[in-house]
Each structure stands twice: as structure tokens, then as C-alpha cells.
């Protein structure tokens, strides 16, 4: 449990950027997976994780994968994206959102983000649609949902698939509905840096029932092995393209222990997030930095606490100041549209001025369910001290 900020205690000597909470059952579940001698994919722990996800998301099916990247690659195959097709996505995202489609020969079409949430700007999506467009891939940055009603309406009008990059979105909600239940498909990440972790891991959530059968096949190397195990066919065989996307049941065992404690994890993160938000309000009042903005329709999951400072120089100096104090802070994405591979494989529509501007100014503060409020207090004080020295 985080101690309270008022408890007198020694200043932390160092604050890591990421500090996940180990909830307690991880090693026992991993032990059980190992002694069962069933350590390959789709064992009992995988099934329990999938049942948990399907129930929590209210999706039609969920499949564990070895990463969110893998889930996005599966989604791109399921969407039947072909060479020359186009996929609309933000430039301010992780490379996998684009790579998954580039691997299928498609062209990522980068659209600017909203200045408030840093999510795909739904008002600019329609202008990017061409006869080749097949998919819209919104990314829920910092676990704050995109404006999904509008994006879904656009997709419906143009007969496009919506693939949510919900890597950061576990236990986030949009108008009361879980992130990951809103598009045709959604990809989650359980990488060490996310809210719920198992080292490397991910999941594909399937909301469109028409995609279920093929999803199982693609994940099982293009075979109907899943049907065979359910007794629906008397032998299994190669029926489609596919690959190996299953994680070992040892990792699923780790993941189950985390999923079972997701409420505690988010509660702990939220305590740190809220502490920063309150303590750093003065920076916004003095127009020194802008804090995260959460729209009324969105319930977030405290995945990221960021500040937007004045410019790149201030950010670089702030990161260096914090580093001298033993505090690890970091910037985030380098925009994809102007990256070497983005220039080679993608194209842009309209100005990406918001993306270009904020990517230089965004700094992420340490945040993790294993972090204490004393650490958050120390970080906040050092952030405030930096700006006091500046003025
Ligand atoms: C972390 C992340 C990914 C990749 O997740 P992996 O599980 O590491 O493959 C993809 N997209 C976004 C937006 C992410 O934050």
C-alpha cells in the first residue's frame, strides 16, 4: 500500500519511471503451471485469463497473444488488409499500430490528434478516407478513450473496420462501456510498462462475431486445431494463413494473478495520478504547464501522468533536473509520419501540427502501482522546484 503523503519518512533516493505491483499470487500460479507440465499455450491459465477478459469486456471472444503487437498483426490479417489498402491512424502512437498493417502491404495514413486528449482527431478522419481505406485504428492514449461514437459512425458510413489499439486501455471506459468492446476488434498489451503486466503479453478482443472462427485459426498457425480440441472436427488440418501468436501458459499464470487484482492496481495508480494532478495544478494556473484533460465521457485508468511544458528546451532541462535528483522521467512517442519508415511506408493528410508540437513538449512522470505517495510527493516537489528556479 502507498503510505500517506503526510507520513514523515526519508526522501526516496531514487524513483524508477515504472514500478509495477506484484500482487502476491504470481509465483504460486507460475509454480502450478510448471508442475502441471502443461506449459504451452491455451492451457488452464490461458483459458482463465480469456474468460476474465471476455466477461470484463463483454466481448464475443478474447484470445491471449504474446504481445499487443501480435494482436494487432492478427487484427490486420482478420481485416483482410491487402497491399495498397489504407489504414487511418494517429502519428502519435507506438510503431506497432502502423507496422501491423505495413506488414500486410497497406499504407498507414496519418491523421493529427486532438489537442486535449492527444487521441486521433475524429473531426479530421473523414477527409483522410479514400476508396482504398479499409480500417480506422484509434489509439486510446494514456487509457483515455477516443471519441468512439463519432469514429464508429464514420466507419459505418464508409464500411470500414474499427480496430482499437487498446494497449493502454485495460479497465478504461467510454460512456460506461469498456475500452476494447467498442470496435470490431481490439488489441491489449500486458507488457511490463502497462497497467497489468506479465513481462510480454497481449490479447485480441473480438466484438464482431463474423471474425471469431477465423481468429482462432490464424492464431493456431492456420489450422482448425481449436475446433478439433472442442470435438467439432475429427482431425485438424491447415485451412488458412496463420502464425504462432500464443503465449506460454506460464506467462498466462503470471497474468491471471495480475488480472485478479486489477482493481487494486488501478486504485494505487489512481492515487498517484490524483496526487500529481492536485499538486501540480499551480503550474497550470501560472500557465507554465498543461495537465492531462479527461473528457466527461471517459473514465481513465491512470496509465500515464504527463505534463505539456513550454518547449523542447524546457522539457530537456526538466528531465535532466529530475535525473540529477534520482527521478526517472521520460518523453513519449517520436511521431511516426516523419520517422524514416513513416516517410517510406505512410502518407499524411492535412497538417499534423498538434502532433509535431506536443511530441516535443510532453514529459511523463514516474507512475506505477508499486509506487508510494512519498515518492509522488518527492517527484512533485522537484518538478515545482525546477520551475521556481526558472522564474
Ligand atoms: C505498448 C503499446 C503497444 C505495443 O505493446 P506490446 O505488447 O509491447 O506489443 C502498441 N500500441 C500502443 C499504443 C502501446 O502503448
Q: Is 97 touching ligand 1 by the criterion CB < 6 Å?
A: yes
With the most atoms of ligand 1 within 8 angstroms of its CB, the residue from 117, 167, 301, 336 to mutate is 167
Is it true that 26-259 and 261-390 share their CATH fold?
Answer: no
How far is 370 from 73, CA to CA, in rounded Å? Answer: 31
* Residues 198/21, Cβ–Cβ less than 8 Å: no
- Given a cut of 70, is residue 6 above it in pLDDT? no
CA nearest 272: which of 13, 15, 8?
A: 15
Q: Where are the domains of the chain?
A: 26-259, 261-390
- Given a cut of 90, is residue 22 above it in pLDDT? yes
How far is 190 from 168, CA to CA, in rounded Å? Answer: 9
Sheet of 347-348: strand order equals 61-65, 202-206, 185-189, 161-165, 133-136, 86-90, 107-111, 347-348
Query: Measured in angstroms, how far is the CA atom of residue 67 from the centroid of ligand 1?
Result: 8
CATH class of the domain comprising 26-259: alpha beta
How far is 334 from 314, CA to CA, in rounded Å? Answer: 17
Determine the atom of ligand 1 nearest the C-alpha atom of 168.
15
pLDDT in tens, 128-154: 999 999 999 999 999 999 999 999 999
Determine the atom of ligand 1 nearest the C-alpha atom of 69.
9
Query: Measured in angstroms, how far is the CA atom of residue 167 from the centroid of ligand 1?
Result: 5
pTM of the predicted model as reported, rounded to 2 decimal places: 0.95
Q: Mean pLDDT lowest for which of 10-19, 64-73, 153-162, 377-386?
A: 10-19
What is the percent of the chain where pLDDT is above 90? 92
How far is 232 from 344, CA to CA, in rounded Å? Answer: 45
Q: Is 68 touching ligand 1 by the criterion CB < 6 Å?
A: yes
Query: Measured in angstroms, how far is the CA atom of residue 228 from the centroid of ligand 1?
Result: 32
- Tell me the three cell numbers of residue 239: 485451412
* Residues 372/2, Cβ–Cβ less than 8 Å: yes
Protein residue whose Cα sits closest to atom 5 of ligand 1: 68
The better pLDDT of the pair 227, 45 is held by 45
Query: Measured in angstroms, how far is the CA atom of residue 278 from the centroid of ligand 1?
Result: 29
- Options 124, 134, 194, 377, the catalytic residue: 194
pLDDT in tens, 290-320: 999 999 999 999 999 999 999 999 999 999 9
Determine the atom of ligand 1 nearest the C-alpha atom of 190.
7
User: What are the CA-CA distances from residue 189 to residues 78, 228, 339 (Å)?
Assistant: 18, 28, 23
3-state secondary structure of 268: helix
CATH class of the domain comprising 261-390: alpha beta
Query: Measured in angstroms, how far is the CA atom of residue 91 from the centroid of ligand 1?
Result: 14
* Nearest-10 crossing angle of helices 68-78, 212-219: 130
Mean pLDDT of 41-45: 96
What is the percent of the chain where pLDDT is above 70? 97
Let me know if 194 is a catalytic residue.
yes
- Given a cut of 80, is residue 391 above it in pLDDT? no
Amino acid at each position: 500500500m502507498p503510505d500517506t503523503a503526510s507520513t514523515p519518512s526519508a526522501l526516496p533516493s531514487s524513483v524508477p519511471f515504472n514500478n509495477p505491483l506484484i500482487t502476491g499470487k504470481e509465483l504460486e500460479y507460475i509454480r502450478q503451471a510448471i508442475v502441471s507440465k502443461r506449459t504451452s499455450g491455451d492451457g488452464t491459465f490461458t483459458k482463465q485469463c480469456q474468460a476474465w477478459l471476455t466477461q470484463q469486456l463483454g466481448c464475443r471472444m478474447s484470445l491471449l497473444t504474446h504481445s499487443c503487437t501480435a494482436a494487432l498483426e492478427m487484427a490486420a490479417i482478420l481485416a483482410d488488409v491487402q497491399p495498397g489498402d489504407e489504414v487511418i491512424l494517429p502519428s502519435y502512437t507506438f510503431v506497432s499500430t502502423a507496422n501491423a498493417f505495413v506488414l500486410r502491404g497497406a499504407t498507414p495514413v496519418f491523421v493529427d490528434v486532438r489537442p486535449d486528449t492527444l487521441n486521433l482527431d475524429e473531426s479530421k478522419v473523414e477527409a483522410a478516407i479514400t476508396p482504398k481505406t479499409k480500417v480506422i485504428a484509434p489509439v486510446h492514449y494514456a487509457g483515455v478513450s477516443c471519441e468512439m461514437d463519432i469514429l464508429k459512425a464514420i466507419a459505418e458510413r464508409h464500411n470500414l473496420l474499427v480496430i482499437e489499439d487498446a494497449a493502454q486501455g485495460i479497465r478504461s471506459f467510454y460512456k460506461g462501456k469498456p475500452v476494447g468492446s467498442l470496435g470490431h476488434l481490439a488489441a491489449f498489451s500486458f507488457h511490463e510498462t502497462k497497467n497489468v503486466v506479465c513481462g510480454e503479453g497481449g490479447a485480441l478482443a473480438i466484438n464482431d462475431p463474423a471474425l471469431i472462427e477465423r481468429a482462432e485459426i490464424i492464431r493456431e498457425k492456420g489450422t482448425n486445431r481449436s475446433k478439433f480440441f472442442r470435438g467439432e472436427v475429427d482431425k485438424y488440418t491447415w485451412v488458412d494463413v496463420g502464425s504462432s501468436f500464443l503465449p506460454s501458459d506460464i506467462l498466462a499464470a503470471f497474468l491471471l494473478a495480475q488480472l485478479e487484482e486489477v482493481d487494486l492496481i488501478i486504485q494505487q495508480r489512481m492515487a498517484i495520478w490524483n496526487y500529481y494532478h492536485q499538486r501540480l495544478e499551480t503550474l497550470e494556473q501560472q500557465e507554465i504547464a498543461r495537465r492531462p484533460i479527461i473528457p466527461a465521457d471517459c473514465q481513465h485508468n491512470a496509465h500515464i501522468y504527463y505534463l505539456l511544458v513550454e518547449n523542447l528546451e524546457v522539457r530537456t532541462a526538466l528531465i535532466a533536473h529530475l535525473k540529477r535528483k534520482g527521478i526517472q522521467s521520460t518523453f513519449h512517442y517520436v511521431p511516426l509520419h516523419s520517422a524514416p519508415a513513416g516517410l517510406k511506408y505512410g502518407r499524411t493528410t492535412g497538417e499534423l501540427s498538434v502532433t509535431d508540437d506536443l511530441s516535443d513538449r510532453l514529459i511523463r512522470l514516474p507512475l506505477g502501482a508499486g509506487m508510494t505517495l512519498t515518492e509522488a510527493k518527492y517527484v512533485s516537489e522537484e518538478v515545482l522546484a525546477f520551475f521556481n528556479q526558472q522564474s
